[in-house]
A and B are shown apart, each in its own frame.
Chain A
Amino acid sequence: MSKKVITSLILILITITLLIIAQNNLDSFSLRILNLCGIYVIFAVSMNLINGFTGQLALGHAGFIAVGAYSYSLLVMDPQLKEMNFFLKPLIAPLNTVHWPFLPALILAGLMAALAGFLVGAPALRLRGDYLAIATLGFGEIIRIIFTNTQSITNGSLGLKGIPAPDKFLFFSMKNSLMWWVWIAAIITVIFHFLLIDSSYGRAFKAIREDEKAAQAMGIALFKHKVMAMVISSFFAGIGGALLASLIGTIDPLMFRFLLTFNILLIVVVGGMGSISGSIISAISITILMEVLRALDQGFMGLPALPGLRMVVFALLLMSVVLFYPKGLMGNEELSWNKLMNLLKKPLLLKEVKK
């Protein structure tokens, strides 16, 4: 077994231990933030695949998340609940009677989002740079507008309420099954992306990011690989969306505005475009920060409530990173023991040199 595998296993074990501790000690507010962290890890890592590793500025993530969230919710809600939700216009058959268990619904949600990713990517990825950005942003908005207008499928702007969370983790009844689902999904997402990036396909993605023309001259079919990256990225966005729906319990089209994509982009840029570990660290810190800074909007320590101040802080954060640390926390490198050690050694070495 290689060193990499052992390190990974250790890291996973540590994470699981931390989760067990969290499960027994955190209050429901903190647990909710913990779950949100896991979901944002999924969002950020998957967005990083297309934006950071493949170098395609795609801004449709919120749309794919929406597809995942809605697919999941429509599958897991029981028929009675659906009838209560759809009081303006009934839900169309056969959706009104389906009632799936958690895991198949989660996976189908991912697949539906992947399908959306393909449908968006196939035309949009023929474009490049700014054009791609604006077209994917457009597609994301179109998805949201469709969801607002298809009353008999999505319940339109009323949204869906009472989306159930899983009561079991696999076959085990856990105190907090959703937390386990979220974090196991996050771990799988991370491992999957590490393996992908480490493969020949991952190298091809990076080649496209570095120099599209040269990559093509090396025989890499650009379009095929870009679509691949997009489909994988949207699959995981869909999984994250499903988990988000089950965490929050209520969804409506307004949740999936461009703002959501912006938040994830912020996380990816701060963590470093092209660094999975950067995305993870950044997703966890920024999600916590976002929840903590909610206080800013509500007023604290004698300050008056100033709605919007939180997002001002985040916009400034994004801009300062872009202006002063364009590589983000990690650049396109991954965290590794060697680097951590080097980081610790460096100050010592410098001292020696000065002597």
Chain B
Amino acid sequence: MSLLEVKDVTMQFGGLTAVTNFNLHINNDEIVGLIGPNGAGKTTCFNVITGEYIPSKGSVFFEKKDITKARSDQVTKLGIARTFQNIRLFKDLTVLENVLIANHLNVKSNLFTAIFKLPKYQKEERQMYEKSLDLLKELKLERFKNEKSSSLPYGLQRRLEIARALATQPKLLLLDEPAAGMNPQESIELMKLINEIKEKFNLTIFMIEHHMPVIMGVCKRILVLDHGLTIAEGTPKEIQTNPKVIEAYLGVETIA
């Protein structure tokens, strides 16, 4: 079944066209990759899907619903969660608080029920804590639950971003370069983790990644962007041998 549908999206910033006629179709249960040289427009695609930017042209549908002009909080409520390329945790807050905050969108108690801690809210709060702790356990972050999130090492901060995104209970998870700054060992763990959470939470995943082993190891289907244009789409094998892709990467970095 079709989950996400991006139709002819073009995104312009003043005179600069970051993405041109981008099309994408993701079915339930897929893991799709998006690659491309620096500045190709990958993150911009994410920002269009999540409602951060409204595209200059084209539209975005999620579960057949037009979300082209939806705000990013509305998009998250519908079931799309994301991580950020340049980690954006709530730095001054603890690891646990970071995850708890991502539960807020599902809180049913109103402000006063919550402030006066009426039974309905107490129950919700308890569930929130349990779920958050489970998630932290799942992602092996439980030990750090009371640490300030900015005090975690880089790799764990990325993992916390994933935990936080999962706490919003998404159907579709967007990962923006989750392996950036990780060593090979960490990247392998990350690949395992991505596969695990996909099964466990019934996710569909759309990810940007520069790290070829990771993307080849996880994704069945890959799109390649260059200067905002989609220059190729196919299985990892097809992409690796596609001359256009090799050319786009030449002089920038080689596909390892």
Contacts and interface: CB of A to CB of B under 8 A. Distances in A.
Interface of A: 192, 195-196, 199-201, 203-204, 206-207, 210-211, 213-222, 228, 332
Contact of B84 (A195, A196, A214, A222): A214
A195 B115 contact: yes
B57 interface: no
Interface string B57-99: 0000000000000011110110001101000111111000100
B73 A201 contact: no
B139 interface: no
Given A201-B114, A213-B52, A218 B105 contact: yes
Nearest to A211: B88
Contacts of A215: 90, 101
Nearest to B71: A216
A218 B100 contact: no
B90 A210 contact: yes
B104 interface: yes
A207 B107 CA distance: 15
Contacts of A210: 90-93
A207 B101 contact: yes
B107 A213 contact: no
Given A213-B88, A221-B73, A203 B115 contact: no
Contacts of B74: 221
18 contacts: A195-B116, A199-B115, A201-B104, A203-B97, A206-B97, A207-B93, A210-B92, A211-B89, A213-B72, A214-B84, A216-B72, A217-B76, A218-B105, A218-B168, A219-B102, A220-B73, A221-B71, A332-B92
Contact of B73 (A192, A199, A203, A216): A216
A210 B117 CA distance: 25
B26 interface: no
A204 B52 contact: no
B128 interface: yes
| B interface residue count range (under 10 / 10 to 19 / 20 to 34 / 35 or more) | 35 or more
A201 B115 contact: yes
Contact of B164 (A195, A199, A206, A218): A218
B73 A200 contact: no
Which secondary structure dominates where chain A touches chain B? helix
A269 B3 CA distance: 48
Contacts of B168: 218-219
A228 B50 CA distance: 25
B76 A218 contact: yes
A189 B72 CA distance: 34
Contacts of A211: 88-91
Contacts of B89: 211, 214
Contacts of B116: 195
B101 to A, nearest CB: 5
A214 B88 contact: yes
Contacts of A218: 73, 76, 101-102, 104-105, 164, 167-168
B125 interface: yes
Contacts of A203: 93, 97, 100-101, 104
Pairs A-B, 6 closest by C-beta atoms:
A219-B105, A219-B76, A210-B90, A214-B88, A199-B114, A218-B102
A189 to B, nearest CB: 12
Nearest to A195: B115
Contact of A200 (B71, B93, B114): B114
Given A211-B88, A220-B101, 4 more contacts: A210-B91, A219-B105, A219-B168, A220-B104
B90 A214 contact: yes
A207 B103 CA distance: 12
A239 to B, nearest CB: 16
Interface in B199-244: none
Determine which residue in A195, A201, A214 has the highest number of CB atoms from chain B within 10 A of its CB, and name it: A214
